[in-house]
Amino acid sequence: MKRYVARRLLLLVPVLAGVSIIIFMVLHLSPGDPAEIMLGAQATQEDLARLRSELGLTEPLPVQYARWLGLVLRGDLGRSIWTKRPVLVEVLDRFKATLVLTGSGLVLSTLAGIALGVASAVRPNSLLDRLSAVASLFGASMPVFWLGIVLMVVFSLWLGWLPASGMFAPYGGGDLRDLLSHLVLPAVTLAAASVTIVARLTRATMLEVLGQDYIRTARAKGLVEWRVVLRHGLKNALIPIVTVIGVQVGYLLGGAVLTETVFAWPGVGTLMIQGILARDFPLVQGCVLVIALAFVLINLAVDLLYAWLDPRIRYA
């Protein structure tokens, strides 16, 4: 296992280097002077010169990259042009909200997806199984931001059951109950597509596992059905499910940008969009860097978990 972890960590180096180059290049993609783009046409020559030297834009590109990377490695992501605060502080402030949303989405999609998948596999072609197949098709076709708006119209505006936006009530809120009531709609919106993907995969894997000889043996031993399904079936079906859940994290982190915008959730996604509209490149780079890093690390964790669950991977 140690050798596998070392190999996996080594593989991370080129990926992280590439990710950093892409994020650095974001600033240099647009034709023209980035300082002029950020400050707009009204900026004075002094302002432009100051920003250019602040961002090191006067130096050759490889030197700029090396300097930027050096600063990033020391935790210095620069200062936001819009809020004037350090980017890292700004992004980490908002990252908590994104983690709450993405984490809730992940828990919801995993639990609901596995439960739905197991129920469908136990009774294939039942009404629940067919409904789950239809839901999975719908989930893959529905724009996440539209689903969010529809849920908001129904549950907030028409029925008045749940708050429409934000993370806490502006007055008198701030406790866990308040957070949970604000979290329901965004988390359901974000998890909707993932639930169906996890459910379909769980169903397919469970159907395969439930056809194995050891399941027949377990039944022949006289074990109760739920024990056969959960202990002997689900436990062995979990390995591919773990992988797809890892992939879903990426989807959820990306989808969070859209979901946060719909529900005015104060996370990194809304911060990034505000940064783009304000042409605040250091802030945008910081947001992308933190989310991409989180994604890479979660994928690493999933790979390690996968190898721990299945010894064949470690020795491959």
291 near other proteins, rule: CB under 8 A: yes
Q: Which of residues 10-49 bind other proteins (CB under 8 A)?
A: 14-15, 18-19, 22-23, 25-30, 37
Residue type for position 150: V
Phi, psi of 86 (to 5 degrees): -60, 135
Cβ burial of 16 (10 Å; 0-12, 13-18, 19+) is middle
The tokens 């159907």 sit on which residue? 207
Q: For residue 193, give the nearest of 114, 154, 135 by alpha carbon.
A: 135
Give the Å distances, CA to CA, from 128 to 67, 124, 147, 310: 57, 9, 22, 31
Q: Which is nearer to other proteins, 100 or 228 (CB)?
A: 100
CA distance 170 to 185: 18
If the CB atoms of residues 19 and 215 are measured against other proteins, the closer one turns out to be 19
Say if residue 49 is exposed, middle or buried (CB neighbours under 10 Å; 0-12, 13-18, 19+): middle
Min dist CB 146 to other proteins, Å, is 3
Kind and range of the H or E run holding 158: none
Give the contacts of 177 (CB within 8 A, at least 6 positions apart): none
Identity of the residue, 276 or 301, whose beta carbon is nearer to other proteins in the bound complex? 276
Site map (CB under 8 A) of other proteins, residues 228-267, x = contact: ----------------------xx-xxx-xx--xx-----
Q: Which is nearer to other proteins, 144 or 187 (CB)?
A: 144
Residue 53: phi and psi, rounded to 5, are -75, -30
**In angstroms, what is the minimal distance from the CB of 248 to other proteins?**
11
- Output 77 or 291, the one with its CB closest to other proteins: 291
Q: Does 143 bind other proteins (CB under 8 A)?
A: yes
The span of 85-93, 108-116, 145-153, 227-235 binding other proteins (CB under 8 A) equals 145-153
* b/e code 118-157 from CB counts within 10 Å (16+ = b): bbbbbeeeeeebeebbebbeebeeeebbebbeebbeebbe
What is the x/- site pattern for other proteins, positions 79-118, by CB under 8 A?
----------------------------------------
The site that binds other proteins (CB under 8 A) totals a number of residues, namely 50
- Is residue 212 close enough to count as binding other proteins by CB under 8 A? no
Give least dist CB 308 to other proteins, A: 22
Output 37 or 57, the one with its CB closest to other proteins.
37
* DSSP 3-state of 267: coil
Using the minimum distance from each CB to other proteins, give the nearer residue, 143 or 174: 143
Three-state DSSP class for residue 31: coil
Q: Which residues bind other proteins (CB under 8 A)?
A: 14-15, 18-19, 22-23, 25-30, 37, 137-138, 140-146, 149-150, 152-153, 157, 204, 250-251, 253-255, 257-258, 261-262, 272-273, 275-277, 281, 284, 288, 291-292, 295-296, 299
